[in-house]
Chains A and B, each alone.
Chain A
Amino acid sequence: MASLRLLLAKPWIWSFIGALLVWLATIAFTGGYGGGGMITAALSLAVFTVIVGVGQMFVITLGPGNVDLSLPANIGLASAVAMKVMDGNDAMIAVGLLAAVACGMAVGAANYLLIWALRIPPIIATLSASFIIQSIDISYGRGLQIKPPPGFASFTNWQILGIPILAILTVLFTIGAAIALQRMIYGRSVLAIGQNIRAAWFAGINVGRIRFLTYTLSGALGGLDGALLAGYFRGANVDIGNEYLLASIAVVVIGGTSVAGGKANVPGVWGAALFLVLLLTMLNTFGVSAGVRLLLTGLIIVGVITAAGGQKALR
């Protein structure tokens, strides 16, 4: 009982409860049919939101005003870079992935440069950077879909007993991110800056360097995500990252990370990403119209955040 209460006190548990409830509602509707397939589909799709969600989580944790709005454009450009470098050739997969990550890192570094050198608020800096990136992408990719090499495409679909390999790798990655956040100097510094940037500075934390690293990390994860998305969805395109603007912020918030910064948790990102995909599954399965679907998505997200937030107020 005590352990259950301890579990319920965790801010991330609510996103998992939400995901479970939505899944149960869906299989109740289908009479138990297709439950396993839904989990497989949810894991395959949630991976992409988790990867950028973790990057966004680190940025948001830096404190009020910190957010990376350049992720969608970054993902789009990196997807094109990865596919062009790979050029349909299996031997170039690793090079293509590295190129995508490097491209993302460059975007992240450029973001911080705008914030630091020109003293522009991050929300404006990353948004204006995204316009520039998107323009580069349009002239670089010419709006065409470039196909991934067959080996890379099938890698993104590999499954062991219905569990996608990509999801397993992403779980390992998130465990690493959780350790970095809670146990390493870098992560503790991010949390400290988010709680009070002046205090962190007085405590001897190199604030500029940590912020630079965090924006670069977010950019790198966006780049990696772009390459993986292009593999899974069989082609790069400018709009491939569009939905991750809101989704990356939504999973951070639903997952129980504080929007005000200074308080973060990694498991919640997984719970929230699964919750969002299963929510789409549920509404698609119920067969509601597009308008009702958007309405319900909004209401349910508000509901989950209120449930999670209400619990926090009691403590």
Chain B
Amino acid sequence: MKKMLILGAFAAMLASGTALADTSDKKIAFSNNYAGNSWRQAMLDSYAIVTKKAVADGVVAAADIFTTADKEVPTQAAQVQNLILQGYDAIVINAASPDALNGAVKQACDAGIVVVSFDGIVTEPCAYRVVVDFKDMGKQEVEQMAKFQPKGGNLLEIRGLAGTSIDDAIHAGILEGVAAHPEFKIVGSVTGDWDQTTAQKAVATILPSLPEIVGVVDQGGDGYGAAQAFAAAGKPRPTIIMGNRQDELQWWKEQKDKDGYQTWSASIAPGVSSLAFWVAQQVLDGRTDIPHDLLVPYLAFTQDDFEAALPKIPKGGVASHEYTQEDAIAAIKANIK
């Protein structure tokens, strides 16, 4: 009878989903492979803010950040192996490759370590994947475009890094959106690699041959470059979907102040690193009902709220959002069907 009671209490504890089991002696490591752009810098900042507080509050014992350079798979694999030896209880990882790190990740799992990947996810089944719903983001871009350009017209698409799952997902979403809005037609497509310079160059080369463009659908990090390319070519300014970068929102604000320019902005929040941290904490907490693939929302700004967010983004940086434990619990709940 007593045993039943304990089990019952245990079940109730699990169901409530809060940090009742103790993770205060657990150590979580963060394995990162690159820090050279504004997105990664914001990712590290958000992670540091959230984890510092978590350590100070005694939620976990340690949350250390390890960054290797240059997106190199072998270096990161060696780093993961080191983290295993150092006795961490969980590893949050932004992986350099979706499959090349699977061996190291499997070793970690076999050693009883919880692995949570995000942004650069790993396909190894034992790991958790925190994935942003990029397909919906692409679809939403066209939905928003339909609001700003109700008459429809020609669209230019800027693709991301070729061969990545993110590029494929956003592209598929955009195609779905265009299929639902036949008033739009994609007349050109270039590769911008989520990079302002690459995007500006690519758009500059294709613009002379394109008919009038009413809108640009893109993947984030490329909106400002596209705007510059249109200006340099002396072409009329289209509706350019933005990607939460400070320069993009700043440009949007300048245009809005000038003539009421309207657009929409969305991207993966770099702070999704903090969400991955909380997922790791929840798994360490003893929750067994967490799906290994977690679809989480993207961060979007509209005409009404982007100006409020702008001052909070560091100059030249990207908008982030620090997730709380409650956010993580809610996101997990939304994924349990």
Contact between chains at A280 and B197 (CB < 8 Å): no
Question: Hey, which chain A residues are within 8 Å of B201, CB to CB?
Answer: 45, 280
Question: Hey, which chain B residues are within 8 Å of A293, CB to CB?
Answer: 191
A157 vs B204: C-alpha distance when bound (angstroms): 12
Contact between chains at A26 and B316 (CB < 8 Å): no
Across the interface, A239 reaches (CB within 8 A) one of B35, B37, B162, B314, namely: B37
With A143-B40, A287-B188 as given contacts, are A30 and B196 in contact (CB-CB < 8 Å)?
A: no
Q: Which of A131-139, A193-201, A263-271, A306-314 contacts B (4 or more CB under 8 A)?
A: A131-139
Nearest CB in chain A: distance from B175 CB, A: 14
Contact between chains at B37 and A290 (CB < 8 Å): no
The number of residues on chain B lying at the interface, defined by a beta carbon within 8 Å of a beta carbon of chain A, is 41
Contact between chains at B206 and A233 (CB < 8 Å): no
Contact between chains at A134 and B36 (CB < 8 Å): yes
Across the interface, B37 reaches (CB within 8 A) one of A38, A143, A157, namely: A143
Nearest CB in chain B: distance from A18 CB, A: 16
Nearest CB in chain B: distance from A193 CB, A: 33
Residue B123 interfacial (CB < 8 Å): no
With A234-B224, A235-B316 as given contacts, are A145 and B202 in contact (CB-CB < 8 Å)?
A: no
Residue B207 interfacial (CB < 8 Å): yes
Which residue of chain A is the closest to B195 with respect to CB atoms?
A239
With A44-B232, A145-B316 as given contacts, are A38 and B205 in contact (CB-CB < 8 Å)?
A: yes
A38 vs B40: C-alpha distance when bound (angstroms): 35
A110 vs B250: C-alpha distance when bound (angstroms): 38
Question: Hey, which chain A residues are within 8 Å of B40, CB to CB?
Answer: 143
Contact between chains at A281 and B205 (CB < 8 Å): yes
A303 vs B37: C-alpha distance when bound (angstroms): 36
Residue B159 interfacial (CB < 8 Å): yes
Contact between chains at B209 and A144 (CB < 8 Å): no
Contact between chains at B208 and A146 (CB < 8 Å): no
Contact between chains at A280 and B38 (CB < 8 Å): no
Contact between chains at A239 and B36 (CB < 8 Å): yes
Nearest CB in chain B: distance from A32 CB, A: 10
Across the interface, A142 reaches (CB within 8 A) one of B41, B190, B232, namely: B41
Residue B181 interfacial (CB < 8 Å): no
Contact between chains at A290 and B159 (CB < 8 Å): yes
Which residue of chain A is the closest to B167 with respect to CB atoms?
A290
Question: Hey, which chain B residues are within 8 Å of A34, CB to CB?
Answer: 207-210
Nearest CB in chain B: distance from A273 CB, A: 13
A146 vs B317: C-alpha distance when bound (angstroms): 9
Question: Hey, which chain A residues are within 8 Å of B198, CB to CB?
Answer: 243
Question: Hey, which chain B residues are within 8 Å of A229, CB to CB?
Answer: 197
Q: Does more than half of chain A's interface fall in helix, strand or loop, or is it mixed?
A: helix
A290 vs B317: C-alpha distance when bound (angstroms): 28
With A37-B233, A145-B316, A293-B191 as given contacts, are A233 and B196 in contact (CB-CB < 8 Å)?
A: yes
A42 vs B232: C-alpha distance when bound (angstroms): 12
Question: Hey, which chain A residues are within 8 Å of B247, CB to CB?
Answer: 145, 147, 234-235
Residue B13 interfacial (CB < 8 Å): no
Residue A238 interfacial (CB < 8 Å): yes
With A143-B40, A145-B38 as given contacts, are A237 and B196 in contact (CB-CB < 8 Å)?
A: yes
Across the interface, A45 reaches (CB within 8 A) one of B35, B205, B210, B245, namely: B205
The number of residues on chain A lying at the interface, defined by a beta carbon within 8 Å of a beta carbon of chain B, is 45
Across the interface, A287 reaches (CB within 8 A) one of B35, B189, B196, namely: B189
A293 vs B205: C-alpha distance when bound (angstroms): 14
Contact between chains at B162 and A290 (CB < 8 Å): yes
Which residue of chain B is the closest to A26 with respect to CB atoms?
B209
In the complex, chain B residues 215-246 whose Cβ is within 8 Å of any chain A Cβ: 224-225, 228, 231-233, 245-246
Residue A284 interfacial (CB < 8 Å): yes
Residue B200 interfacial (CB < 8 Å): yes
**Contact indicator per residue, chain A 248-285, by CB within 8 Å of chain B (1) or not (0):** 00000000000000000000000000000100110011
Across the interface, B69 reaches (CB within 8 A) one of A37, A131, A143, namely: A131
Contact between chains at B207 and A41 (CB < 8 Å): yes
Contact between chains at A37 and B188 (CB < 8 Å): no
Question: Hey, which chain A residues are within 8 Å of B256, CB to CB?
Answer: none
Question: Hey, which chain B residues are within 8 Å of A42, CB to CB?
Answer: 205
Across the interface, B208 reaches (CB within 8 A) one of A36, A147, A243, A287, namely: A36
Question: Hey, which chain A residues are within 8 Å of B37, CB to CB?
Answer: 143, 237-239
Q: Sorted from nearest, which 6 A-B pairs have the closest CB atoms?
A: A37-B208, A34-B208, A144-B316, A290-B162, A145-B316, A281-B205
Given contacts A143-B35, A143-B41, 20 further A-B contacts (CB under 8 A): A34-B209, A37-B233, A41-B208, A41-B233, A45-B204, A45-B205, A135-B69, A144-B314, A144-B316, A157-B231, A233-B197, A235-B247, A235-B316, A237-B38, A280-B201, A281-B205, A281-B209, A284-B188, A290-B159, A294-B162
